[in-house]
Amino acid sequence: MTEFRTWHVFLLLGLFGLFALFYKGLWGDPTALPPVIIAEPAPEIVAPSLYGDKQIVLSEHRGKVVVLNFWASWCQECKLEHKFLLAINKRFEDNPNFVMYGVNYQDKDHLAKAYLDQHGNNFEHMVDLKGKISIDYGVYGVPETFIIDQDGIIRHKQIGPVLGDVFSDMVQNKIEPLLNKSAPL
Amino acid sequence: MKLHTFFIVLTIFTATFSRIEPSFAQTDPVPPPLSMDEDLLQSKMKEVSKTLRCAVCQSESIWESNATLAIQMRDIIRERLIAGETPNEIRAYFVSRYGDYIVFKPRFRGINMLLWGGPFILLAIGAVVLSRSLRKWTLQKDEVPPEPLAPIDEKQRERIEEELRSLK
C-alpha cells in the first residue's frame, strides 16, 4: 500500500509537470525569447562609423557603460523610440563613463543618414557590414537595445522599442545604477 | 516492477539517448581542411544551414530562406567553415547567440531532456501501472475461493432431469 502511494505521488508530480509545460507552451507569451546573451561578455565590435570618418572599437570603451541600439531607417518602431534614445543620451552625455552607439541594421547608408537628418541625432552610429554585429549579439530584428557594463558584460537586452515605462525603467533601474555602481541589475 | 527497477530502465534510456544526441561542444572526429573545394564547402554549408532555424521566418531553415538575416547567417557559416570550424562548433556559436530556439533539433540537455525522454518515462510509468494492476487482479482471482453451489431441492432436480430427457 505504501509503494502504491509513492507511485501516486510520482504520477501526480509527472502530470503536474506536463500540465505546467503545456500551460507555458500554449498560454505563455509566444514572443518571449530566451535572453541567452545576458550576463555574457559583449562580443567585440570593430565597425566603420555611419559617416565613415572613423573606426568604432567597442573594447576601447571598457570602464564605461555602453548603450547599443540596433535600428534601421525602414523600421517603424525605431521611429517611435528615436526621441527617447535622444533623451537617454542627452541625460547622460556629460558623464564620462557613458557612451551610446547606434548600429545601423540591414540598411542603406544614404537612407540611414536621411533618417537621422529628419529625426535628429546626438550620438554616433556604426554600420553593421554583412550583419556580423547583429548576429554576434543574437539580434532578431530592430529595434533592440543592449546595456553593457563597465566590465564589458551585457546586463540588459531590450527587444522592441524603448518608450514609456520601458524608457523610465531603462534610465532609472538599468543605466543609473550601473553608472552609480549602486545596485546590481 | 519495483521502484529501483524502474529507475534502472530510466537510466538505460537516458544513457542510450545521450549517445545518440551528442552535445554541440563535442567536435567532429575529422575537422575539414582549411582549403576545401567548393562542392564540399556547399555540402557542409547545406548540412549546417538545414539544422538552423531562420529567426525571422515561419518554420524555415536558413538554407531554405531568402530573408536577409538568413543570407547573412549562411555567409557566416561559410566563413567559419573556411576558417576550419566544424559543423558542431558553428551550431554551438549560433546557439550561444540565439539560444536553443535557433536549432530545429533540441539538444539533449536541461529541460530538453524531458522532451526526449518524456515519452519513454510515460511509457515506463504506464507499464508499471499496468503490471501492478494485472498482478493485483491475478492475485485477487487466486485468493477468492470458489463460491459454494446452492443446494437444489427435489422439485428443481426433477425439472432439470426432465429438461435433459427432452433434449435426447
Residue B8 has a pLDDT of 56
Residue B19 has a pLDDT of 39
Chain B within 8 Å of A140 (Cβ-Cβ)? yes
Domain count, chain B: 2
With CA atoms as reference, the chain A residue closest to B4 would be: A3
CA-angle at A139, arms to A182 and B74, nearest 5°: 145
Nine-digit cell at A144? 533592440
Among A4, A6, A34, whose Cβ lies nearest the Cβ of B101?
A34
Same domain assignment for residues B137 and B66: no
More confident residue, B116 or B73: B73
Closest CA to A75 of A147, A161, A172, A182: A161
Task: Tell which of A1, A4, A7 to mutate to test the B interface (max B CBs under 10 Å).
Answer: A7
ipTM reported for the complex, 2 dp: 0.83
Domain-located, residue B125 = yes
Same domain assignment for residues B157 and B91: no
Residue B125 has a pLDDT of 82
Query: With an 8 Å Cβ cutoff, are A14 and B125 in contact?
Result: yes
Domain-located, residue B2 = no
With CA atoms as reference, the chain B residue closest to A130 would be: B72
Terminal C-alpha separation, chain B = 54
Rounded CA-CA distance B28/B86 in Å is 6
Same domain assignment for residues B94 and B127: no
B18-65 residue pLDDT tens:
434 333 433 444 455 556 789 999 999 999 999 999 988 878 999 999
Same domain assignment for residues B97 and B134: no
Q: Is B39 in a helix, a strand, or coil?
A: helix
What is the three-state SS of chain A? CHHHHHHHHHHHHHHHHHHHHHHHHHHCCCCCCCCCCCCCECCCCEEEECCCCCEEEHHHHCCCEEEEEEECCCCHHHHHHHHHHHHHHHHHCCCCCEEEEEEECCCCHHHHHHHHHHHCCCCEEEECHHHHHHHHCCCCCCCEEEEECCCCEEEEEEECCCCCHHHHHHHHHHHHHHHHCCCCC
Beta-carbon contacts of A26 under 8 Å, excluding residues fewer than 6 positions away, are none
More confident residue, B168 or A149: A149
Query: With an 8 Å Cβ cutoff, are A130 and B125 in contact?
Result: no
Domain-located, residue B108 = no
Domain-located, residue B4 = no
Same domain assignment for residues B27 and B97: yes
Domain harbouring B36, CATH code: 1.10.8.640
> Average pLDDT, whole number, for chain B?
79
**Residue B91: CA count within 13 A, CB half-sphere:** 28
* CATH code linked to domain A34-180: 3.40.30.10
Domain containing B93 equals 22-102
With CA atoms as reference, the chain B residue closest to A3 would be: B3
Which residue, B53, B69, B102, sits at the end of a domain?
A: B102
Domain-located, residue B8 = no
Same domain assignment for residues B144 and B89: no
Domain-located, residue B152 = yes
How close does chain A come to B99, measured CA to CA in Å? 6
Closest CA to A71 of A159, A142, A157, A127: A142
Among B56, B121, B128, whose Cβ lies nearest the Cβ of A141?
B56
Secondary structure letter of residue B101 according to DSSP? G
Rounded CA-CA distance A45/B34 in Å is 25
Per CB-CB distance under 8 Å, the chain A contacts of B55 are: 140
Same domain assignment for residues B98 and B121: no
Domain-located, residue B110 = no
More confident residue, B69 or A20: B69
Same domain assignment for residues B36 and B66: yes
Place of cell 463460491: B147
Residue B109 has a pLDDT of 72
Which residue, B51, B75, B102, sits at the end of a domain?
A: B102
Residue A20 has a pLDDT of 83
Per CB-CB distance under 8 Å, the chain B contacts of A21 are: 114
pLDDT tens across the length of chain A (185 residues): 455 677 778 778 878 887 887 777 677 665 566 678 999 999 999 999 999 889 999 999 999 999 999 999 999 999 999 999 999 999 999 999 999 999 999 999 999 999 999 999 999 999 998 999 999 999 989 999 999 999 999 999 999 999 999 999 999 999 999 999 844 44
Amino acid at A4: F
Chain B within 8 Å of A20 (Cβ-Cβ)? no
Among B68, B76, B121, whose Cβ lies nearest the Cβ of A132?
B76
Per CB-CB distance under 8 Å, the chain A contacts of B100 are: 34
Same domain assignment for residues B97 and B155: no
Same domain assignment for residues B42 and B97: yes
Count of Cβ atoms closer than 10 Å to residue A10 Cβ: 15
Domain-located, residue B143 = yes
Which residue, B72, B102, B132, sits at the end of a domain?
A: B102
Beta-carbon contacts of B83 under 8 Å, excluding residues fewer than 6 positions away, are B34
With a cut of 90, say whether residue B118 has pLDDT above it.
no
Chain B within 8 Å of A138 (Cβ-Cβ)? yes
Nine-digit cell at B116? 526526449
Among A10, A14, A37, whose Cβ lies nearest the Cβ of B97?
A37
Total beta-carbon pairs less than 8 A apart between chain A and chain B: 57
Nine-digit cell at B123? 511509457
